[in-house]
Chain A
Amino acid sequence: MTTTAPAPVPMPWRLARVEDGWLETRTARTVVLDVPGWPGHDAGQHVDLRLTAADGYTATRTYSVASAPEAGRLVLTVQLVGGGEVSPWVVEEARAGDELEVRGPIGGWFRWSAEMLQPVLLVSGGSGIVPLMAMLRERSRTGTTTPFHLVHSARTPDHVFYTNELHALAVSSPGLRVDRLYTRGGLPDDARTPGRLRPEDLPAVDAFDAPPLVYCCGPSGFVETATRILLDKGHDSGAVRTERFGPSS
Protein backbone atom coordinates (compact mmCIF):
# COMPACT_ATOMS: atom_id res chain seq x y z
CA MET A 1 0.00 0.00 0.00
CA THR A 2 1.55 3.29 -1.03
CA THR A 3 0.45 6.80 -0.42
CA THR A 4 0.34 8.78 -3.62
CA ALA A 5 -0.07 12.51 -3.78
CA PRO A 6 -1.23 13.45 -7.27
CA ALA A 7 -0.77 17.09 -8.10
CA PRO A 8 -4.08 18.65 -7.08
CA VAL A 9 -5.01 20.18 -10.40
CA PRO A 10 -8.76 20.17 -11.00
CA MET A 11 -9.93 18.81 -14.34
CA PRO A 12 -11.08 21.79 -16.37
CA TRP A 13 -14.48 22.24 -17.93
CA ARG A 14 -14.00 22.42 -21.69
CA LEU A 15 -16.15 24.03 -24.32
CA ALA A 16 -17.82 21.46 -26.54
CA ARG A 17 -19.64 22.14 -29.80
CA VAL A 18 -22.15 19.75 -31.30
CA GLU A 19 -20.82 18.77 -34.71
CA ASP A 20 -23.31 16.12 -35.73
CA GLY A 21 -26.02 13.91 -34.29
CA TRP A 22 -28.37 11.10 -35.24
CA LEU A 23 -30.92 8.83 -33.62
CA GLU A 24 -29.78 5.31 -32.74
CA THR A 25 -33.30 4.28 -31.73
CA ARG A 26 -36.50 6.27 -31.26
CA THR A 27 -35.30 7.37 -27.81
CA ALA A 28 -31.50 7.45 -28.00
CA ARG A 29 -29.29 9.87 -29.87
CA THR A 30 -25.62 9.85 -30.72
CA VAL A 31 -23.93 13.24 -30.68
CA VAL A 32 -20.49 14.05 -32.00
CA LEU A 33 -18.78 16.77 -29.98
CA ASP A 34 -15.89 18.89 -31.09
CA VAL A 35 -13.91 19.60 -27.89
CA PRO A 36 -10.81 21.76 -28.43
CA GLY A 37 -8.04 20.66 -26.08
CA TRP A 38 -9.67 17.32 -25.20
CA PRO A 39 -6.73 15.04 -24.29
CA GLY A 40 -8.40 11.78 -25.29
CA HIS A 41 -9.58 9.04 -22.96
CA ASP A 42 -9.51 5.27 -22.50
CA ALA A 43 -12.30 3.14 -23.88
CA GLY A 44 -14.91 2.63 -21.16
CA GLN A 45 -14.44 5.95 -19.39
CA HIS A 46 -17.13 8.59 -18.97
CA VAL A 47 -17.46 12.36 -18.95
CA ASP A 48 -19.47 14.94 -17.08
CA LEU A 49 -21.66 17.01 -19.35
CA ARG A 50 -22.90 20.45 -18.23
CA LEU A 51 -25.69 22.49 -19.77
CA THR A 52 -26.24 26.14 -18.87
CA ALA A 53 -29.53 28.01 -19.26
CA ALA A 54 -29.67 31.67 -20.28
CA ASP A 55 -30.08 32.75 -16.64
CA GLY A 56 -27.01 30.80 -15.50
CA TYR A 57 -28.82 27.74 -14.15
CA THR A 58 -26.80 24.59 -14.81
CA ALA A 59 -27.45 20.85 -14.86
CA THR A 60 -24.71 18.22 -14.95
CA ARG A 61 -24.89 14.49 -15.69
CA THR A 62 -22.39 11.73 -16.39
CA TYR A 63 -22.33 9.82 -19.70
CA SER A 64 -20.16 7.04 -21.08
CA VAL A 65 -18.07 7.83 -24.14
CA ALA A 66 -18.98 5.73 -27.19
CA SER A 67 -16.00 6.60 -29.36
CA ALA A 68 -12.47 5.23 -29.41
CA PRO A 69 -9.92 7.57 -27.84
CA GLU A 70 -9.27 10.61 -29.98
CA ALA A 71 -7.90 14.06 -29.16
CA GLY A 72 -10.35 16.93 -29.62
CA ARG A 73 -13.40 14.83 -30.32
CA LEU A 74 -15.95 12.81 -28.34
CA VAL A 75 -18.95 10.74 -29.36
CA LEU A 76 -21.68 10.11 -26.78
CA THR A 77 -24.90 8.12 -27.08
CA VAL A 78 -27.56 9.24 -24.65
CA GLN A 79 -30.74 7.35 -23.79
CA LEU A 80 -33.78 9.52 -23.10
CA VAL A 81 -34.87 9.30 -19.47
CA GLY A 82 -38.50 10.25 -18.80
CA GLY A 83 -38.71 13.28 -16.52
CA GLY A 84 -35.01 13.87 -17.02
CA GLU A 85 -33.22 17.15 -17.43
CA VAL A 86 -30.09 16.69 -19.54
CA SER A 87 -31.02 13.63 -21.62
CA PRO A 88 -34.12 15.30 -23.21
CA TRP A 89 -31.94 18.16 -24.41
CA VAL A 90 -29.40 15.79 -25.97
CA VAL A 91 -31.99 13.50 -27.55
CA GLU A 92 -34.63 15.99 -28.65
CA GLU A 93 -33.05 19.42 -28.81
CA ALA A 94 -29.32 19.33 -29.61
CA ARG A 95 -28.29 20.36 -33.09
CA ALA A 96 -25.09 21.21 -34.89
CA GLY A 97 -23.40 24.31 -33.55
CA ASP A 98 -24.91 24.14 -30.04
CA GLU A 99 -22.45 24.75 -27.22
CA LEU A 100 -22.08 23.02 -23.87
CA GLU A 101 -19.27 21.94 -21.56
CA VAL A 102 -17.58 18.64 -20.77
CA ARG A 103 -15.19 17.52 -18.06
CA GLY A 104 -13.16 14.36 -17.86
CA PRO A 105 -12.19 11.70 -18.66
CA ILE A 106 -13.50 10.01 -15.51
CA GLY A 107 -13.28 6.42 -14.33
CA GLY A 108 -10.07 4.45 -13.95
CA TRP A 109 -11.47 0.97 -13.45
CA PHE A 110 -13.99 0.21 -16.18
CA ARG A 111 -11.62 0.76 -19.06
CA TRP A 112 -9.78 -1.18 -21.71
CA SER A 113 -6.73 -0.42 -23.82
CA ALA A 114 -4.99 -2.46 -26.50
CA GLU A 115 -2.00 -3.25 -24.27
CA MET A 116 -4.32 -5.51 -22.26
CA LEU A 117 -3.76 -8.86 -23.94
CA GLN A 118 -6.23 -11.18 -22.17
CA PRO A 119 -9.37 -12.25 -24.02
CA VAL A 120 -12.32 -9.97 -23.33
CA LEU A 121 -15.96 -10.80 -22.66
CA LEU A 122 -18.35 -7.86 -22.98
CA VAL A 123 -21.86 -8.19 -21.54
CA SER A 124 -24.36 -5.37 -21.97
CA GLY A 125 -28.00 -4.63 -21.41
CA GLY A 126 -29.72 -1.83 -23.33
CA SER A 127 -27.78 1.42 -23.34
CA GLY A 128 -25.07 -0.38 -21.34
CA ILE A 129 -23.51 -1.13 -24.70
CA VAL A 130 -22.15 2.43 -25.00
CA PRO A 131 -18.83 2.07 -23.10
CA LEU A 132 -18.40 -1.43 -24.56
CA MET A 133 -18.78 0.01 -28.06
CA ALA A 134 -15.86 2.31 -27.27
CA MET A 135 -13.82 -0.83 -26.48
CA LEU A 136 -14.89 -2.55 -29.72
CA ARG A 137 -14.03 0.58 -31.69
CA GLU A 138 -10.65 0.84 -29.98
CA ARG A 139 -9.96 -2.83 -30.73
CA SER A 140 -10.76 -2.17 -34.36
CA ARG A 141 -8.81 1.11 -34.52
CA THR A 142 -5.64 -0.45 -33.11
CA GLY A 143 -5.93 -3.59 -35.25
CA THR A 144 -5.31 -5.90 -32.30
CA THR A 145 -6.61 -9.45 -32.61
CA THR A 146 -7.26 -9.96 -28.88
CA PRO A 147 -10.32 -12.28 -28.75
CA PHE A 148 -13.49 -10.34 -27.95
CA HIS A 149 -16.96 -11.74 -27.36
CA LEU A 150 -19.91 -9.37 -26.99
CA VAL A 151 -23.20 -10.60 -25.58
CA HIS A 152 -25.76 -7.82 -25.90
CA SER A 153 -29.28 -7.90 -24.55
CA ALA A 154 -31.96 -5.54 -25.84
CA ARG A 155 -35.74 -5.46 -25.76
CA THR A 156 -36.17 -5.97 -29.51
CA PRO A 157 -33.97 -5.53 -32.61
CA ASP A 158 -35.33 -1.95 -32.84
CA HIS A 159 -33.71 -1.19 -29.48
CA VAL A 160 -30.16 -2.13 -30.51
CA PHE A 161 -27.74 0.79 -30.86
CA TYR A 162 -25.05 0.73 -33.58
CA THR A 163 -26.79 -2.10 -35.49
CA ASN A 164 -25.01 -1.66 -38.82
CA GLU A 165 -21.60 -1.07 -37.30
CA LEU A 166 -21.92 -4.10 -35.01
CA HIS A 167 -22.84 -6.24 -37.99
CA ALA A 168 -19.94 -4.91 -40.06
CA LEU A 169 -17.46 -5.39 -37.22
CA ALA A 170 -18.69 -8.93 -36.54
CA VAL A 171 -18.25 -10.07 -40.14
CA SER A 172 -14.95 -8.28 -40.77
CA SER A 173 -12.97 -8.62 -37.53
CA PRO A 174 -11.12 -11.88 -36.87
CA GLY A 175 -11.45 -12.93 -33.25
CA LEU A 176 -14.63 -10.95 -32.60
CA ARG A 177 -17.91 -12.67 -31.87
CA VAL A 178 -21.16 -10.73 -31.43
CA ASP A 179 -24.27 -12.34 -29.92
CA ARG A 180 -27.53 -10.44 -29.61
CA LEU A 181 -30.41 -11.56 -27.48
CA TYR A 182 -33.84 -10.05 -27.15
CA THR A 183 -35.99 -9.90 -24.07
CA ARG A 184 -39.38 -9.00 -25.62
CA GLY A 185 -39.33 -10.05 -29.25
CA GLY A 186 -36.69 -11.09 -31.75
CA LEU A 187 -36.37 -11.87 -35.44
CA PRO A 188 -38.43 -14.60 -37.17
CA ASP A 189 -35.51 -17.01 -37.55
CA ASP A 190 -34.05 -16.61 -34.04
CA ALA A 191 -33.25 -19.91 -32.39
CA ARG A 192 -33.54 -18.36 -28.95
CA THR A 193 -36.94 -17.71 -27.40
CA PRO A 194 -37.16 -14.06 -26.31
CA GLY A 195 -36.67 -13.52 -22.62
CA ARG A 196 -34.35 -12.11 -20.04
CA LEU A 197 -30.75 -13.22 -19.71
CA ARG A 198 -30.38 -16.97 -19.03
CA PRO A 199 -27.31 -18.99 -17.95
CA GLU A 200 -26.91 -20.51 -21.44
CA ASP A 201 -26.59 -17.01 -22.93
CA LEU A 202 -23.18 -16.41 -21.35
CA PRO A 203 -19.97 -18.35 -22.04
CA ALA A 204 -18.20 -20.23 -19.23
CA VAL A 205 -14.67 -19.30 -18.32
CA ASP A 206 -13.30 -22.39 -20.11
CA ALA A 207 -14.87 -21.31 -23.41
CA PHE A 208 -11.83 -19.05 -23.73
CA ASP A 209 -8.16 -19.96 -24.26
CA ALA A 210 -7.32 -17.97 -21.13
CA PRO A 211 -9.66 -16.57 -18.46
CA PRO A 212 -11.15 -13.40 -19.95
CA LEU A 213 -11.44 -9.97 -18.48
CA VAL A 214 -15.19 -9.31 -18.26
CA TYR A 215 -16.86 -5.93 -18.63
CA CYS A 216 -20.53 -5.91 -17.74
CA CYS A 217 -22.67 -2.80 -18.12
CA GLY A 218 -26.38 -2.19 -17.93
CA PRO A 219 -29.27 -1.54 -15.56
CA SER A 220 -28.61 -2.75 -12.02
CA GLY A 221 -30.92 -5.77 -12.21
CA PHE A 222 -29.32 -6.91 -15.45
CA VAL A 223 -25.81 -6.58 -14.01
CA GLU A 224 -26.81 -8.48 -10.85
CA THR A 225 -28.20 -11.36 -12.93
CA ALA A 226 -25.29 -11.39 -15.38
CA THR A 227 -22.58 -11.33 -12.72
CA ARG A 228 -24.27 -14.10 -10.74
CA ILE A 229 -24.34 -16.28 -13.88
CA LEU A 230 -20.71 -15.40 -14.66
CA LEU A 231 -19.51 -16.44 -11.20
CA ASP A 232 -21.54 -19.66 -11.45
CA LYS A 233 -19.81 -20.36 -14.77
CA GLY A 234 -16.35 -20.15 -13.27
CA HIS A 235 -15.37 -16.54 -13.89
CA ASP A 236 -13.31 -15.06 -11.06
CA SER A 237 -15.02 -12.16 -9.31
CA GLY A 238 -11.76 -10.18 -9.55
CA ALA A 239 -11.91 -10.46 -13.34
CA VAL A 240 -15.43 -9.03 -13.61
CA ARG A 241 -15.71 -5.25 -13.85
CA THR A 242 -19.14 -3.72 -13.67
CA GLU A 243 -20.77 -0.43 -14.44
CA ARG A 244 -24.36 -0.12 -13.33
CA PHE A 245 -26.69 2.44 -14.80
CA GLY A 246 -28.26 4.41 -12.09
CA PRO A 247 -30.70 6.81 -13.67
CA SER A 248 -28.87 9.60 -15.45
CA SER A 249 -31.72 11.88 -16.24
Chain B
Amino acid sequence: MNVVTRGFAGRRGPSNPRIPPGQYLETDFPVLSAGPTPGVRTEEWRLDVVDTDGTRRSLSWADLGALPHEDLTTDIHCVTKWSKLDTTWRGVPLEAVLDGDGAVATHVLVHSYGGYTTNLPLEDVTGGRAWVATHYGGKPLTPEHGGPARLLVPHLYFWKSAKWVRGLELLTEDHLGFWEQLGYHALGDPWREQRYVGD
Protein backbone atom coordinates (compact mmCIF):
# COMPACT_ATOMS: atom_id res chain seq x y z
CA MET B 1 0.00 0.00 0.00
CA ASN B 2 1.35 3.40 -0.86
CA VAL B 3 -0.56 6.05 1.00
CA VAL B 4 0.82 9.56 1.11
CA THR B 5 -0.32 11.51 4.15
CA ARG B 6 -1.20 15.07 3.13
CA GLY B 7 0.64 17.69 5.12
CA PHE B 8 3.23 15.30 6.55
CA ALA B 9 6.89 15.97 5.84
CA GLY B 10 8.56 14.44 8.90
CA ARG B 11 11.22 15.86 11.14
CA ARG B 12 14.03 13.65 10.00
CA GLY B 13 17.52 14.25 11.16
CA PRO B 14 20.51 13.00 9.22
CA SER B 15 19.91 9.30 8.63
CA ASN B 16 21.77 7.16 11.14
CA PRO B 17 22.77 3.61 10.26
CA ARG B 18 22.62 2.70 13.94
CA ILE B 19 18.85 3.28 14.10
CA PRO B 20 16.89 0.17 13.02
CA PRO B 21 13.89 0.48 10.67
CA GLY B 22 10.78 2.07 12.19
CA GLN B 23 12.69 3.43 15.21
CA TYR B 24 13.45 7.02 16.21
CA LEU B 25 16.25 8.47 18.30
CA GLU B 26 15.42 9.10 21.95
CA THR B 27 17.70 10.82 24.44
CA ASP B 28 15.56 10.21 27.53
CA PHE B 29 15.25 6.72 29.03
CA PRO B 30 11.53 5.88 29.12
CA VAL B 31 10.24 3.28 31.57
CA LEU B 32 7.83 0.57 30.44
CA SER B 33 6.54 -2.31 32.51
CA ALA B 34 3.34 -4.29 32.93
CA GLY B 35 2.86 -3.85 36.67
CA PRO B 36 4.15 -2.20 39.82
CA THR B 37 7.90 -1.95 40.38
CA PRO B 38 8.89 -4.70 42.81
CA GLY B 39 11.11 -3.54 45.64
CA VAL B 40 13.84 -6.18 45.84
CA ARG B 41 16.60 -5.71 48.38
CA THR B 42 20.01 -7.10 47.53
CA GLU B 43 20.05 -8.97 50.88
CA GLU B 44 17.11 -11.09 49.73
CA TRP B 45 17.89 -11.12 46.00
CA ARG B 46 18.48 -14.54 44.43
CA LEU B 47 19.14 -15.69 40.92
CA ASP B 48 18.14 -19.32 40.38
CA VAL B 49 19.62 -21.23 37.46
CA VAL B 50 17.62 -24.35 36.63
CA ASP B 51 19.21 -26.71 34.13
CA THR B 52 17.36 -28.98 31.69
CA ASP B 53 17.75 -31.94 34.08
CA GLY B 54 16.14 -30.00 36.93
CA THR B 55 19.42 -29.24 38.72
CA ARG B 56 19.09 -25.93 40.52
CA ARG B 57 21.74 -23.45 41.63
CA SER B 58 20.90 -20.31 43.49
CA LEU B 59 23.18 -17.27 43.37
CA SER B 60 23.11 -14.62 46.08
CA TRP B 61 23.98 -10.97 45.46
CA ALA B 62 27.48 -11.68 46.80
CA ASP B 63 27.82 -14.69 44.47
CA LEU B 64 26.93 -12.48 41.51
CA GLY B 65 29.34 -9.80 42.67
CA ALA B 66 32.18 -12.33 42.81
CA LEU B 67 31.81 -13.17 39.12
CA PRO B 68 33.81 -11.27 36.48
CA HIS B 69 32.13 -8.03 35.42
CA GLU B 70 32.34 -6.19 32.12
CA ASP B 71 31.74 -2.56 31.22
CA LEU B 72 30.06 -1.99 27.91
CA THR B 73 28.62 0.78 25.76
CA THR B 74 25.76 -0.23 23.51
CA ASP B 75 22.65 0.94 21.65
CA ILE B 76 19.21 -0.17 22.84
CA HIS B 77 15.95 -0.43 20.89
CA CYS B 78 12.47 -0.52 22.40
CA VAL B 79 9.55 -2.07 20.49
CA THR B 80 7.56 1.10 21.29
CA LYS B 81 9.81 2.74 18.62
CA TRP B 82 12.52 4.56 20.55
CA SER B 83 16.21 3.79 20.25
CA LYS B 84 18.88 5.16 22.56
CA LEU B 85 22.52 5.21 21.55
CA ASP B 86 25.72 4.73 23.53
CA THR B 87 24.15 3.60 26.80
CA THR B 88 26.72 2.45 29.36
CA TRP B 89 26.30 -0.63 31.51
CA ARG B 90 28.19 -2.87 33.89
CA GLY B 91 27.25 -6.49 34.33
CA VAL B 92 28.20 -10.14 34.37
CA PRO B 93 28.28 -11.96 31.02
CA LEU B 94 25.52 -14.56 31.03
CA GLU B 95 28.04 -17.29 30.23
CA ALA B 96 29.73 -16.63 33.55
CA VAL B 97 26.38 -16.87 35.34
CA LEU B 98 25.54 -20.15 33.58
CA ASP B 99 29.01 -21.51 34.39
CA GLY B 100 28.65 -24.53 32.13
CA ASP B 101 24.94 -25.13 32.82
CA GLY B 102 22.70 -25.59 29.80
CA ALA B 103 25.00 -27.97 27.94
CA VAL B 104 22.06 -29.50 26.07
CA ALA B 105 19.70 -26.50 26.28
CA THR B 106 18.49 -24.63 23.21
CA HIS B 107 16.46 -21.89 24.92
CA VAL B 108 16.17 -20.03 28.17
CA LEU B 109 13.04 -18.71 29.86
CA VAL B 110 13.98 -15.75 32.02
CA HIS B 111 11.89 -15.17 35.17
CA SER B 112 11.55 -11.87 36.99
CA TYR B 113 10.37 -10.68 40.38
CA GLY B 114 6.75 -9.68 39.78
CA GLY B 115 6.05 -12.70 37.57
CA TYR B 116 7.27 -11.40 34.21
CA THR B 117 8.93 -13.91 31.87
CA THR B 118 10.65 -13.71 28.49
CA ASN B 119 12.05 -16.41 26.21
CA LEU B 120 15.35 -16.38 24.31
CA PRO B 121 17.35 -18.81 22.20
CA LEU B 122 20.48 -19.78 24.10
CA GLU B 123 22.66 -18.66 21.19
CA ASP B 124 21.31 -15.13 21.67
CA VAL B 125 22.44 -14.96 25.27
CA THR B 126 25.87 -16.53 24.96
CA GLY B 127 28.97 -15.54 23.03
CA GLY B 128 29.15 -12.09 24.63
CA ARG B 129 25.63 -11.06 23.62
CA ALA B 130 23.90 -10.88 27.03
CA TRP B 131 24.64 -9.78 30.59
CA VAL B 132 23.07 -9.66 34.02
CA ALA B 133 23.44 -5.91 34.43
CA THR B 134 23.78 -4.22 37.81
CA HIS B 135 24.83 -0.71 36.78
CA TYR B 136 23.59 1.83 34.26
CA GLY B 137 25.39 5.08 33.48
CA GLY B 138 27.97 4.35 36.18
CA LYS B 139 25.39 3.98 38.97
CA PRO B 140 23.59 0.99 40.49
CA LEU B 141 20.42 0.22 38.53
CA THR B 142 17.40 1.99 40.00
CA PRO B 143 14.32 -0.15 40.74
CA GLU B 144 12.26 1.41 37.94
CA HIS B 145 14.96 0.51 35.42
CA GLY B 146 15.16 -3.06 36.70
CA GLY B 147 17.38 -2.84 39.77
CA PRO B 148 18.98 -4.48 41.52
CA ALA B 149 19.71 -6.57 38.40
CA ARG B 150 18.23 -6.95 34.94
CA LEU B 151 19.03 -8.95 31.89
CA LEU B 152 20.69 -6.96 29.10
CA VAL B 153 20.36 -8.31 25.56
CA PRO B 154 20.94 -5.20 23.49
CA HIS B 155 20.76 -6.81 20.04
CA LEU B 156 17.07 -7.67 20.58
CA TYR B 157 14.08 -5.39 21.34
CA PHE B 158 14.39 -4.20 24.89
CA TRP B 159 11.44 -6.15 26.36
CA LYS B 160 13.82 -9.14 26.15
CA SER B 161 16.12 -7.38 28.62
CA ALA B 162 13.94 -8.48 31.54
CA LYS B 163 13.97 -6.23 34.60
CA TRP B 164 14.26 -7.59 38.17
CA VAL B 165 15.68 -10.89 36.96
CA ARG B 166 15.35 -13.75 39.46
CA GLY B 167 15.67 -16.98 37.47
CA LEU B 168 17.06 -18.59 34.33
CA GLU B 169 15.19 -21.73 33.25
CA LEU B 170 17.18 -23.70 30.69
CA LEU B 171 15.04 -25.57 28.17
CA THR B 172 15.32 -27.91 25.21
CA GLU B 173 12.47 -26.11 23.38
CA ASP B 174 11.09 -22.58 23.15
CA HIS B 175 8.46 -21.65 25.77
CA LEU B 176 6.86 -18.30 25.09
CA GLY B 177 7.21 -15.62 27.75
CA PHE B 178 4.79 -12.94 28.98
CA TRP B 179 4.67 -10.51 26.03
CA GLU B 180 5.39 -13.30 23.57
CA GLN B 181 2.15 -15.04 24.59
CA LEU B 182 0.32 -11.73 24.15
CA GLY B 183 1.13 -11.17 20.49
CA TYR B 184 4.72 -10.00 20.49
CA HIS B 185 7.38 -11.71 18.39
CA ALA B 186 9.12 -14.79 19.80
CA LEU B 187 12.61 -13.46 18.94
CA GLY B 188 12.33 -9.67 18.48
CA ASP B 189 15.25 -8.71 16.22
CA PRO B 190 14.98 -4.93 15.66
CA TRP B 191 16.97 -5.06 12.43
CA ARG B 192 14.35 -7.41 10.94
CA GLU B 193 11.58 -5.38 12.63
CA GLN B 194 10.20 -8.44 14.44
CA ARG B 195 7.74 -6.54 16.63
CA TYR B 196 4.62 -8.69 16.64
CA VAL B 197 3.73 -12.33 15.91
CA GLY B 198 4.19 -13.02 12.23
CA ASP B 199 6.53 -10.06 11.51
Residue from B24, B31, B197 within 8 A of A6 (CB atoms): B197
A57 to B11: give the CA distance in the assembly, Å.
Answer: 10
Contact call B31/A101, Cβ cutoff below 8 A = no
Stretch of B89-97, B124-132, B133-141, B173-181 on the interface side: B173-181
A84 to B12: give the CA distance in the assembly, Å.
Answer: 10
- Given A3-B176, A247-B82, A51–B8 Cβ distance below 8 Å? yes
Stretch of B33-41, B56-64, B147-155 on the interface side: B33-41
Which positions 168-195 of chain B face chain A at CB distance < 8 Å?
173-176, 178-179, 181-183
- Given A53-B9, A99-B3, A106–B33 Cβ distance below 8 Å? no
Interface core residue of B2, B24, B109, B179 (most chain A CB under 10 Å)? B24
User: Which B residues are CB-close (under 8 A) to A227?
Assistant: 35-37
User: Which B residues are CB-close (under 8 A) to A53?
Assistant: 4-5, 8-10
- A13 at the binding interface (Cβ < 8 Å): yes
Interface core residue of B2, B37, B38, B178 (most chain A CB under 10 Å)? B37
Which positions 20-59 of chain B face chain A at CB distance < 8 Å?
22, 24, 26, 28, 30-38
A127 to B42: give the CA distance in the assembly, Å.
Answer: 35
- A89 at the binding interface (Cβ < 8 Å): yes
User: Which A residues are CB-close (under 8 A) to B176?
Assistant: 3-4
A245 to B30: give the CA distance in the assembly, Å.
Answer: 8
A178 to B198: give the CA distance in the assembly, Å.
Answer: 40
- A93 at the binding interface (Cβ < 8 Å): yes
A242 to B114: give the CA distance in the assembly, Å.
Answer: 13
Interface core residue of A7, A100, A220, A248 (most chain B CB under 10 Å)? A220
Q: Mark B1-19, 1 if CB is under 8 A from A, else 0.
A: 1111111111110000000
- B70 at the binding interface (Cβ < 8 Å): no
Q: Mark A75-110, 1 if CB is under 8 A from B, else 0.
A: 000000001110001000110001111000011111
- Given A108-B182, A220-B31, A246–B78 Cβ distance below 8 Å? yes
Contact call B173/A3, Cβ cutoff below 8 A = yes
Size class of the contact patch on chain B: 35 or more
User: Which A residues are CB-close (under 8 A) to B37?
Assistant: 224, 227-228
* Nearest CB in chain A: distance from B61 CB, A: 22
Residue from B35, B183, B198 within 8 A of A238 (CB atoms): B35
A58 to B38: give the CA distance in the assembly, Å.
Answer: 38
- Given A109-B34, A244-B30, A100–B5 Cβ distance below 8 Å? yes
Which positions 12-31 of chain A face chain B at CB distance < 8 Å?
13, 15
- B144 at the binding interface (Cβ < 8 Å): yes
User: Which B residues are CB-close (under 8 A) to A116?
Assistant: none
A100 to B6: give the CA distance in the assembly, Å.
Answer: 9
Contact call A108/B183, Cβ cutoff below 8 A = yes
Contact call B36/A13, Cβ cutoff below 8 A = no
A7 to B197: give the CA distance in the assembly, Å.
Answer: 8
Beyond A11-B197, A246-B30, 15 extra complex contacts between A and B, CB < 8 Å: A11-B196, A15-B1, A51-B10, A53-B4, A60-B81, A61-B81, A85-B11, A93-B8, A98-B7, A108-B181, A230-B36, A240-B36, A241-B35, A242-B36, A244-B33
19 contacts between A and B (CB under 8 A): A3-B175, A8-B198, A10-B196, A10-B198, A51-B8, A52-B5, A60-B22, A85-B10, A85-B24, A93-B7, A106-B183, A227-B35, A227-B37, A237-B38, A240-B36, A244-B33, A246-B78, A246-B80, A248-B80
